[in-house]
Amino acid sequence: MTIGSNPETRATHRKRDASPGMQLCVAESLYSTGYIAHTAPPDKPHTLRYSVYCLTTYEPMPAFRRILIANRGEIAVRVIRTCRAMGIETVAVYSDFDRDALHVRLADLAVRIGPPPPRDSYLNIDAILAAAKRTQAGAIHPGYGFLAENADFAAACEDAGIAFIGPRSDVIRAMGSKSNARRLAEEAGVPVVPQPTEGEFPVLIKASAGGGGRGMRIVHKAAELQPALEAARGEAERAFGDGTLLLERYIEGARHIEIQIFGDHHGRLIHLFERDCSVQRRYQKIVEESPAPGITPQLRNGMADAALALGRRLGYTNAGTVEFLLAPSGEFYFIEVNTRIQVEHPVTEMITGLDLIRLQIEIAEGRPLPADPPQTNGHAIEARLYAEQPENNFLPSTAIVRVWEPPPGVRVDTAIEQGTEIGVYYDPLLAKVIVHAADRDTAVRKLVYALRSFAAQGLSTNREYLLSLLPALDTAPVHDALQNRERKRPDAPDIADASLASIVCSHIEQTEHAARATLPSIPIGYRNNPYPRPPIKLDIDGREYAVHAQEPIIDGIRHDFRITHHGDEYYIRSTFIQRTVRRLPRYPRRPGAHDRRSANSPMPGQVLRILVEVGQQVRPGDPLVVLEAMKMEQTIKTSIDGFVQAVLVKTGDIVAPGQMLVEIESRENPNEHASDSATSRD
């Protein structure tokens, strides 16, 4: 069911002439009878299944000499490394914020494309094409996100004679609308999520023109439907410029399974098995693995056949992912096609031994897919490390990375270094940790150990959250893992923050003593009077500790702690725990007086809209300001009854966590609860 469809914004097919190198051929070969599907033998259920979907020839292009990467961060670094291995020069593009970023320094050439906001830089089609022409790049790799699934960008590359390393623009356009993709899937005989009958709940509302959780709502009863539709439509219009919505039956307890497909220009379409992406937060994946646990060979083959059928219907070329919902009943339903390389592509690389970026480039050059179908080997699992606050509804975190020590012995895809600034403009993904093992249990164990050993400090991350999830994957169905996220790791020792503070105190005393130029021979703690040495005051997570030095021995066990410090902050870490410890002044500062309450920003971000004005009366729950950071919108609401005394920001301002946004004169006693914030949020 499509709701609020607008003919002016509905996705359309753009008819384009075939490229000079592609032409119909006469059926004179083995494939002259049409489509051919090869199924896996019973004794090798993980053998690749593939099909020939059309009768075409494609004259190979000359090998690319130089490729521009229209992206940033870890995917730009990932593409650069494959290009280097292939002997291909690379061109990076960058915003002012990324001037010194790793991908810029790794590339052979780099071109500035604009200021930090994505719409002025990484979404600026004209600037990116101008950079490609200026550097004489023969191809553009879009990565994922930004313009990767923008049909206009792909078409502009085609018009400019620059190879777009991805599907054709008409395929991207066709799949860019969920309602259109659903229709094409039905035409290909692929099962789709049933539409709800009248009065049936729960239902799922989705934005037809986009993804990433934007415009998505789950509605459990009729009274919630209309408000949810209005909220979803507004969010979709702001995010995608199209408020068209799709209404589907909500499948309780479903898993998210996707099939990786590749098509070349010689008539071959293959799949590279499945990935299970069911562990998510905010409708975004955070743990992915392959093979999907508990999937029978028959079910795997059925989903693969459906993915290939849709690929044939589209005449698909290059990399794509066909995504399905798998119901507890064993039925599966089509969701969408991602017409790009996926964030989680390393999982497939680890089990097949293939370089998927290399495959993309070779297909764009006109080369055929490998003749020998690969097989899976072992089990791979990936966890995404984000700069975010799980305890605060996963709000993004911004700061400078003070400690960055990825774990050895596993694959870590990242563009972060010690000293990297995490800003408000881009996705908060810090790194992907990918492990491979002979079996799933071993892979999960390796991933847990790798995350424990990953030191990322100076900002909030989801590291502890991931560590609370992964043990649940051993004992519970994968889609139930989020229900067990609060479970404490059974093998993690109970290390009290007070002990950590004492260990940091010892570090402070030793480093200050070593740096002392006057009387360095006097031992630590020596006093020439009878009074005891005053404790050092430290803060951990807002709690103050007055401590003396302690050796790193807890319950008779010596632990290996590492400590780094920057200013008044000390970053202590071991394989079991990481904490930021702040040194407090010996004597407390005099608190300032508060005559009014303020609504403060709970996160770093940009002011999208101001919803109140000076003198306006507000009541608890009234919206004040809308912020946006890293693709997320947050409405700041008041929690008190009063009058707006001052609006301290304007639209477009960048705000820091805790920054005052609106000042409100409470109608209560102004001296009561003087330290309270006037803020609540959605």
Active-site positions read 340
Residue 31 DSSP label: T
C-alpha triplet 97, 103, 109: angle, nearest 5°: 100
Match 């699992």 to its residue by tokens. 381
Looking at the DSSP assignment, which residues form a beta bridge with residue 422? 399
**What is the 3-state secondary structure of 349-364?**
HHHHCCCHHHHHHHHH
C-alpha distances (whole Å) from 131 to each of 74, 121, 598, 627 are: 21, 11, 46, 32
**Strand intervals (E) in 25-70:** 36-38, 50-52, 56-58, 66-69
Token duo for residue 162:
């620059």
Q: Count how many Cα atoms sit within 13 Å of the Cα of residue 584 in the half-sphere of its side chain.
A: 18
**Distance (Å, rounded) from C-alpha 316 to C-alpha 54?**
10
Phi, then psi, of 632 in degrees rounded to 5: -115, 140
Token duo for residue 330:
């064993």
Say if CB 400 and CB 581 are below 8 A apart. no
Phi, then psi, of 319 in degrees rounded to 5: -90, 140
The pairing of beta strand 50-52 with beta strand 36-38: antiparallel
Say if CB 626 and CB 602 are below 8 A apart. no
In total, the chain counts a number of residues equal to 682
Element at 629 (helix H, strand E): strand 623-629
Match 């969408």 to its residue by tokens. 336
Match 């590749």 to its residue by tokens. 262
Sign of CA dihedral 9, 251, 323, 471: positive
Say if CB 139 and CB 64 are below 8 A apart. yes
Token duo for residue 73:
């961060």
Token duo for residue 659:
């920054």
